[in-house]
Amino acid sequence: MTHKLTADGAAVVAPDVKWIRIDERTPIGSRMQIIDKAQNIAYTRAHYKGDGFTHWFPVPTFSKDEE
């Protein structure tokens, strides 16, 4: 995964990693990274139908090599 600073330096982004649109296959009641595209604020929390979020992404894990 590559990463870079935004032009204004306000965030570090991973250009090759994209949010997944919430649809009927999105896990319900499980913790994930979740965002409403219009608000552009991400949370780590459980997703439930009708909660107003538009996209999700799995929660990252630690490398086993890092122990």
60 three-class SS: coil
Q: How many C-beta neighbours within 10 Å does residue 17 have?
A: 11
Q: Are 47 and 23 in contact (CB under 8 A)?
A: no
pLDDT above 70 for 8 = yes
pTM of the model: 0.81
Model confidence over 20-66: pLDDT tens digits? 999 999 999 999 999 999 998 999 999 999 999 999 999 999 988 87
